[in-house]
Chain A
Amino acid sequence: EDKVVQSPLSLVVHEGDTVTLNCSYEVTNFRSLLWYKQEKKAPTFLFMLTSSGIEKKSGRLSSILDKKELFSILNITATQTGDSAVYLCAVDRNTGNQFYFGTGTSLTVIP
């Protein structure tokens, strides 16, 4: 059965800390892995990863994919209170239209 597992489920850190969020997957016909940030209702797209070992970076956020070990990490450095959100990982397949979402990691950054 296809699945996407994120860890930890929740995390509380202080401003300025660095956090690493994990996403592992078992999905047939893998095409890409996507990270989203969800505040309130709608998720916001962060990264799409298709190739192993190539880091994607946007400001204090970065992500990398390991297609051999079937996982990805999302790093956030120098965290700010505005980073508090649920971070979702999703996997896309070559066949069909299904996007498999993980359960999310709830990040709380306290001042």
Chain B
Amino acid sequence: SAVISQKPSRDICQRGTSLTIQCQVDSQVTMMFWYRQQPGQSLTLIATANQGSEATYESGFVIDKFPISRPNLTFSTLTVSNMSPEDSSIYLCSGLAPGPLSYEQYFGPGTRLTVT
């Protein structure tokens, strides 16, 4: 199994500023992902964080707005840039780790972001 921590757990930010969210995994995971969960909605995949190279972004998400780093197998950051109230959301880090039979996906506790 894998234990994933995120910080900050929550933040209130002003419009136009940027926030970097950190994700730390206690063991090596094969893949790391960043999700967003807007109020009342399900999880939406933002991007796959690739170790040592640029992240792979899903449709509707771009690197300039959500730069991601993954310098090693157990750490990643997501920056929400030039924030607007529409970016208010929970941001979740996730890691894929080998399980008993195949693999399992673990989630961090999330970062609740409010943009005013």
Contact = CB atoms under 8 A, between A and B. Distances in A.
A binds B: yes
A68 interface: no
Interface in B76-115: 90, 92, 99, 101-110, 112
Given A41-B110, A42-B110, A97 B31 contact: yes
Interface stretch (A11-19, A43-51, A59-67, A74-82): A43-51
Interface in A24-43: 32, 34, 36, 41-43
Q: What range describes how many residues of B lie at the interface?
A: 20 to 34
B105 A42 contact: no
Nearest to B59: A98
Contacts of A48: 99, 101-104
A90 B109 CA distance: 18
Contacts of B105: 34, 45, 90, 99
**Range, interface on chain A:** 10 to 19
B108 A42 contact: yes
A41 B104 contact: no
B106 A45 contact: yes
A43 B107 contact: yes
- Which among A41, A43, A98, A99 has the greatest number of chain B C-beta atoms within 10 A? A41
A82 B92 CA distance: 23
Contacts of A36: 107
A12 B33 CA distance: 32
B43 interface: yes
Nearest to B58: A98
Contacts of B58: 98
A99 B105 CA distance: 10
Interface of B: 31, 33, 41-45, 48, 56, 58, 90, 92, 99, 101-110, 112
